[in-house]
Amino acid sequence: MLEVKGVKTYYLTDEGQVKAVDGVSFAMERGETLGLAGESGCGKTTLALTITRLLPRNARVISGEIYFDGVEILSLDEEEFRKIRWKDISIIFQEAMNALNPVRRVGDQIVEAILLHENVAREEAVDRVMNALEMVGIDRERFWHYPHEFSGGMRQRALIAMALVCNPKLVIADEPVTALDVMVRAQVLKLIKELQSKMDLSMILITHDLSVIAETCDRVAIMYAGKIVEIGDVISIFKDPKHPYTKGLVKAFPSIYGPRELPASISGTPPDLLNPPSGCRFHPRCPHVMDICKVEEPEMKRINGKQYVACHLY
């Protein structure tokens, strides 16, 4: 359903080009949930904004192609792509409070999405929005309330309702539970899983929390410094990670069954994407670094089944 081929998205700054997404490729099947994980600043949100074509003014897609249902969407003009955005591809934004207009009723903001993409009467759109709010666990009378009258969890649920109200084929959820407390987080994750099953959703779930991916995703792609370094099914990635960075991420997550000790950490800091390291971008932090890692960028290689890794160890 979705195929991303060699996409490079750079930010133009006074200091130079920030290589936020630098040659990313992956594909998704219909009905699949793909987790996109990595440290902050590795390019996850930029990739989501590239797919939905919502990049800020100083961002440029330097090269690459994105196919959605066989149509190359980066080459479409804005008017053509508007028919796809939100109707076929929707996004649940980070930070629900900032994503909603504070001076407009929540229900009206969701209704607008329907009226812009479908030829229906406002009364029908209002009824659909009320049903969507109920579907995500919000009383239908809350349609008339403003964002400041919603709790953090309710605002997140309202954004989920907005993303689903036009019955899209693909939903991109950008850090949907990061700012929520533990109880609300569990409720939102349960809701996402129920909606996936009920609506046969295809989803890209962006997070730096591997536990969220383990609970909701079929496959996972690990990003580091603008590149995907490993991709595979969730069980393989968690039980037998191949890339040193993936191993570090998995070890950094505490186990409730293991010994009570401080989880391992990855030494160093992510690189400056204005001037990323030569060769493998993880080599300054890698415990298995070799001479070739410093000069030659590793190619993505198939290890077993559907597990792929970009590392000179393999």
Q: What's the chain's Rg over C-alpha atoms?
A: 20
| pLDDT, tens digit, 9 for 90 and up, residues 18-65 | 999 999 999 999 989 999 999 888 999 999 999 999 999 999 999 999
Q: Is residue 10 part of a domain?
A: yes
- CA angle 81/124/83 to nearest 5° reads 5
Render the burial of 207-221: b for 16+ CB within 10 Å, e for the rest.
bbebebbebbbbbbb
Q: Is the pTM of this model over 0.85?
A: yes
| pLDDT, tens digit, 9 for 90 and up, residues 104-114 | 999 999 999 99
Dmax (CA) of the chain: 66
Phi, psi for residue 86 in degrees, rounded to 5: 80, -35
What pLDDT shows up at residue 194?
82
Average pLDDT score, the chain: 90
Q: Is residue 99 part of a domain?
A: no
What pLDDT shows up at residue 157?
86
The single-letter DSSP state of residue 270 is P
Does residue 268 carry a pLDDT above 90? no
Strand, helix or coil at 250? helix
Q: Is residue 69 part of a domain?
A: yes
Beta sheet of 307-310, edge-to-edge order = 89-92, 170-174, 202-207, 33-37, 219-224, 227-233, 307-310, 300-304
Q: Is residue 129 part of a domain?
A: no
Q: Is residue 98 part of a domain?
A: no
* Domain enclosing residue 187, as ranges: 2-88+168-310
Strand, helix or coil at 92? strand
Q: Give the CATH number for residue 81.
A: 3.40.50.300
**CA nearest 26: which of 196, 204, 216, 184?**
204
What pLDDT shows up at residue 278?
93
Does residue 75 carry a pLDDT above 80? yes
One-letter identity of residue 56: P
- Give, rounded to a whole angstrom, the gap between the first and last alpha carbons of the chain: 30
Q: How many domains does the chain have?
A: 1
Q: Is residue 160 part of a domain?
A: no
Range with the lowest mean pLDDT among 45-49, 72-76, 82-86, 153-157? 153-157
What pLDDT shows up at residue 179?
65
Q: Is residue 15 part of a domain?
A: yes
Q: Is residue 93 part of a domain?
A: no
Does residue 84 carry a pLDDT above 90? yes
